[in-house]
Structure 1
């Protein structure tokens, strides 16, 4: 087994950033100086990122973020990995730190009550508790908490139109969860806005639950948005809940369809992966743009002479 010499950091922080573009420049430069890679989003409403690097560089990064009073309360989830979880560094300014369509909601003003992983584990099986997964289809199909309610949504921005499905449970305690906690800040706040009274959220999401408990009753594996694609959560009673999209046999091996026009996120067993050359269907296997299959089903975007300093220099020139 490869030694896990790197760390992967997952975090978010809702806070007011008056000049996101200027902060992006500073933040980007710090990451370059400390050999960090990842995807970081900066908006007026806060900061959201997944970053990979050597442990010392990650420690410096966390200290740098928390040294700014705006981000002092940021909660970092730290996982070990064999290498960088990203090929590139992207630090971008966007309208929201997670695309929700709920821009009027400010989680720093009102949101669902946070439950620690230990508190969540204690109440998740209670009769008066409803556990709600606010993630997309391909995420909860791969893994989810036992007994959780899931929604048929392709993106988080579709969540508001599904809230009506929770009306029968309005008198119970509603506990939302997602990968790292960021979506639940707005999902739980939206539920409060819609008249739900007893609304909670799993603080730090599935990842923190796995890190701080034995992961009991999380069935399957957790989809993550980096080169790992999936990560294990349950150390106590793990089961496989997903099925290969080709042969329908149990499989928790996640791939992207080799046809980039399709790019379906779906479980696919190794045998079908080889037979189908990484494609989810015969039509995709024969598609003229199908990517070569290397056995992983993960396709990083083409580097195309990628220069991590280019975006920094372009923005500096624009602002000068």
Structure 2
């Protein structure tokens, strides 16, 4: 896990049964705060999901604690690194689902698709008998995608089941296999389980998600085009999990390029070319005040460090 960059980033999830997730929250949050990690962890009856960042030792301490929780001994973690802390604070939240699909009968612990190692993924998605589906949301797909993948153009993962049901016939026409992928693998646990419930047997998903693929598959062999959106201050990562080139519009949370930031429609923290027509004057005024407070907080933090 060691690296020359100062911040270790660990993405994790585990579907397991927590009888009382609320009882797990305080000890976990206390440890995270004690060792100095930042990020977000979600706890629900179906398990744990999230990303934390900190020093090697801090991250190791938190992961060791998580592995003592019921069903988490074999927790798999995807590591990357950052030059600066990519999160502002540490949050441990209680949720109904650790990834929200809104399908109560879907249980990845009972049935999921077949995992495909990143090194075998290219062969699968190049097979003409395979339909490849990106299970991420529209703003994530904006920065990159696997060559030839279908983009559902969903605003939320909750929309995925209805989208699939309405397009099922055209998607599966002439295809024998369904290959699905997402950022770190967790959404595919539910999406492949959902397809199995819909009666589709030959369902596959990329083990470890895009992050594991970009980490392990050489760029000259890769079928990934673009960068991968991540849910922290890095915004996107590239092959080798190096930080990408995108920034973030803090009004609509969409990734934006340097060219889009040069647009007259871009005002930091207030608007960008994508959301300028979506927000009201009242909303933009509220965003402007929020941005002003953010800048004041940065100034105060700078003075405290000097």
On whether the aligned pair clears a TM of 0.5, the verdict is yes
Provide the secondary structure at the position in 2 that maps to 1:7.
strand
Residues 214 and 240 of structure 2 are in contact (CA less than 8 Å); yes or no, is this contact kept in structure 1? yes
Provide the secondary structure at the position in 1 that maps to 2:9.
strand
Aligned counterpart, 1:280: 272
Output aligned runs, 1:137-286, within 5 Å.
137-164=138-165, 165-168=167-170, 169=172, 171-215=175-219, 216-233=222-239, 253-256=246-249, 260=251, 263-270=252-259, 272-273=261-262, 275=264, 276-278=266-268, 279-281=271-273
Deviations 1:267-295 (A, max 9, x none): 2324643643343246669743343899x
Structure with greater helix share of residues: 2
Provide the secondary structure at the position in 2 that maps to 1:79.
strand
Deviations 1:243-278 (A, max 9, x none): xxxxxxxx9624215xx4xx2514232464364334
CA 69–46 in structure 1, closer or farther in 2 if over 3 Å, else same: closer
Pairwise CA distance, 1:44: 0.3
Question: Does the alignment pair 1:51 with 2:52?
Answer: yes
Aligned counterpart, 2:301: none
Provide the secondary structure at the position in 1 that maps to 2:115.
strand
Question: Does the alignment pair 1:291 with 2:292?
Answer: no
Query: In structure 1, how many angstroms separate the alpha carbons of the residues matched to 2:237 and 2:65?
Result: 27
Residues 44 and 95 of structure 1 are in contact (CA less than 8 Å); yes or no, is this contact kept in structure 2? yes
Q: Which moved more, 1:173-182 or 1:214-223?
A: 214-223
Query: In structure 1, how many angstroms separate the alpha carbons of the residues matched to 2:228 and 2:288?
Result: 25
Aligned counterpart, 1:243: none
Residues 216 and 240 of structure 2 are in contact (CA less than 8 Å); yes or no, is this contact kept in structure 1? no
Aligned-pair Cα RMSD in Å: 2.8
Q: Which moved more, 1:128-137 or 1:278-287?
A: 278-287
Provide the secondary structure at the position in 2 that maps to 1:59.
helix
Deviations 1:29-62 (A, max 9, x none): 1211211111100000000011000112112222
Query: In structure 1, how many angstroms separate the alpha carbons of the residues matched to 2:33 and 2:39?
Result: 11
Query: In structure 1, how many angstroms separate the alpha carbons of the residues matched to 2:57 and 2:190?
Result: 33
Query: In structure 2, how many angstroms separate the alpha carbons of the residues matched to 1:217 and 1:196?
Result: 26
Provide the secondary structure at the position in 2 that maps to 1:174.
strand
Aligned counterpart, 2:63: 62
Provide the secondary structure at the position in 2 that maps to 1:70.
coil
Aligned counterpart, 2:133: 132
Query: In structure 1, how many angstroms separate the alpha carbons of the residues matched to 2:247 and 2:148?
Result: 22
Pairwise CA distance, 1:83: 2.1
Aligned counterpart, 2:123: 122
Pairwise CA distance, 1:213: 1.4
Question: What TM-score, normalized to structure 2?
Answer: 0.82
Pairwise CA distance, 1:151: 0.3
Pairwise CA distance, 1:234: 7.0
Query: In structure 2, how many angstroms separate the alpha carbons of the residues matched to 1:229 and 1:266?
Result: 7
Deviations 1:280-316 (A, max 9, x none): 246669743343899xxxx89x89xxxxxxxxxxxxx
Provide the secondary structure at the position in 1 that maps to 2:67.
helix
